[in-house]
Amino acid sequence: MLVYFSTDTQHTGEQVVEYYRLRYQIEYLYWDGKQFTGLSHCQSRKEEALSFHFNLSLTTLNIAKATHYLSIAQPERPPFSMANIKCLYFNEMMLDRIISLYGKDPLIKKITPTLRSFTNWVLSLPDFLPHYC
């Protein structure tokens, strides 16, 4: 059972729940920004530099989300996670490297469907199993 509180007595219960849901999405966006796009790596003290850095980091998240999720129909979209996108690209890079070491072209039509299914296997693991990316 979850209990949500608000100091504004004019809000309905539905509004309070909606605000908490939106707040969680914003927190997750900042967490992804800190974890994967260097949101907290700027060492400048100038307001313009900090503003540019924060905007660039959050824009990177938005571009990644648009690139990977806008092509999927709304009801079928999984929750956005920059960790999943990073893992997907890491898997593709490693497989391309391994195949290239054996003197093969990773873009051969015969290999491509198998590669795509293999690069996505980590993303389909149940949540209780560790993801190694």
pLDDT per position as a tens digit, 19-73: 888 888 788 888 888 888 888 888 889 999 999 999 999 898 889 888 887 877 8
Q: Indicate the number of domains in the chain.
A: 2
Longest C-alpha distance within the chain, in Å? 68
Last-in-domain residue among 39, 62, 78: 78
Is there a single domain that holds both residue 1 and residue 53?
A: yes
Is there a single domain that holds both residue 4 and residue 62?
A: yes
CA distance 50 to 30: 15
Is there a single domain that holds both residue 73 and residue 85?
A: no
CB 64 within 8 A of CB 85: yes
CA distance 63 to 96: 24
Domain of residue 120: give its range: 81-133
Is there a single domain that holds both residue 74 and residue 92?
A: no
DSSP for residue 124: G
pLDDT of residue 48: 94
Is there a single domain that holds both residue 88 and residue 133?
A: yes
Is there a single domain that holds both residue 3 and residue 66?
A: yes
The token duo for 93 is: 């890079």
Mean pLDDT of the chain: 79
pLDDT of residue 128: 45
Is there a single domain that holds both residue 50 and residue 70?
A: yes
pLDDT of residue 52: 93
**94: closest CA among 54, 128, 121, 60?**
121
pLDDT tens, residue by residue, 24-36? 878 888 888 888 8
Question: Percent of the chain scored above 70 by pLDDT?
Answer: 81
pLDDT of residue 129: 44
Could you give the count of Cα atoms lying within 13 Å of 69 in the half-sphere of its Cβ?
Answer: 17
Is there a single domain that holds both residue 23 and residue 7?
A: yes
